[in-house]
Amino acid sequence: MTIRVSVNYNDPRWKRFNLACYIRLLLSKVAQIHQIRLNKFSLSVLACSDVKIKELNREHRKKNKATNVLAWPAMHNFCNLNQDYLSNDENKYLFLGDIAISYERCLREASSQNIQFNKYCCRLLIHAILHLLGYDHDISVRASKMQLMETRVLNSVLTNRPKFINI
């Protein structure tokens, strides 16, 4: 599986956290658990601060407050993929969408919940990736399904993590 991740470091503190590596690992686990047959994905990440994510949240969700992570799916419903993406064309990557994640918010929330920063960020990144794939938590049944998938992916990563990733 090939995953292209474009990271824009709007906040330099994120450079200590290899977002592209984490996202490749997390997305590959989601694809494995879902048994997704696609081999090539791409997405972009804005590694930012509370100030920037607040601006994005206000602009896109009409909420004038900082949040931990935002996701903008490129496709409205992942389940209805165009069959063209199932080909083996080397240049065809399925663009999933965009993610923004706030350093300060993640640091505060991880600290207040007494969770390692890396592990907490991985949970949020899984959450964002699932949004890109069409998951939502607007009603309790869908929220439960999304939370279950987040837990499955995170547990799989924690159990089978490569040695270069310290979660």
Structural domains of the chain, with CATH: 2-160 (3.40.390.30)
Give per-residue pLDDT as tens, 26-48: 999 988 888 877 778 899 999 99
Distance CA 74, CA 80 (A): 13
pLDDT at 160: 61
Provide the token pair at 159: 């159990």
pLDDT interval class at 13 (50, 70, 90): very high
Placement of tokens 């165009």 in the chain: 82
Tell me the pLDDT band of 87, cut-offs 50, 70 and 90: very low
pLDDT for 32 equals: 87
Beta bridge partners of 72: 98
Tell how far CA 1 is from the center of its chain.
17
The helix/strand count (H/E) of the chain reads as 5, 4
What's the chain's average pLDDT? 85
Mean pLDDT of 15-24: 91
pLDDT over 70 for what percent of the chain?
86
For residue 152, pLDDT over 80 is answered with yes
Q: How far apart are CA 49 and CA 34, in angstroms?
A: 32
Q: Picking from 47-61, 97-111, 144-158, which range would have the lowest pLDDT averaged per residue?
A: 144-158
As a whole-number percent, the residues of the chain with pLDDT over 90 amount to 55
- The span from the CA of 86 to the CA of 69, in Å, is 29
User: CA-to-CA distance for 87 and 105, rounded, in angstroms?
Assistant: 40
pLDDT tens digits for 95-132? 999 999 999 999 999 999 999 999 999 999 999 999 99
Q: Which residue has the higher pLDDT, 165 or 112?
A: 112
Least reliable range by pLDDT among 9-23, 43-57, 71-85 = 71-85
Cα–Cα distance measured from residue 7 to residue 99, given in angstroms and rounded to the nearest whole number: 9
Tally of CB atoms within 10 A around 148: 10
Beta partners for residue 99, in sequence order:
45, 71
Enumerate the H helices of the chain as residue ranges.
19-34, 50-61, 103-112, 117-132, 140-160
First to last CA, the chain: 22
pLDDT of residue 91 exceeding 70, the answer is no
Residue 65 banded pLDDT, cuts 50, 70, 90: very high
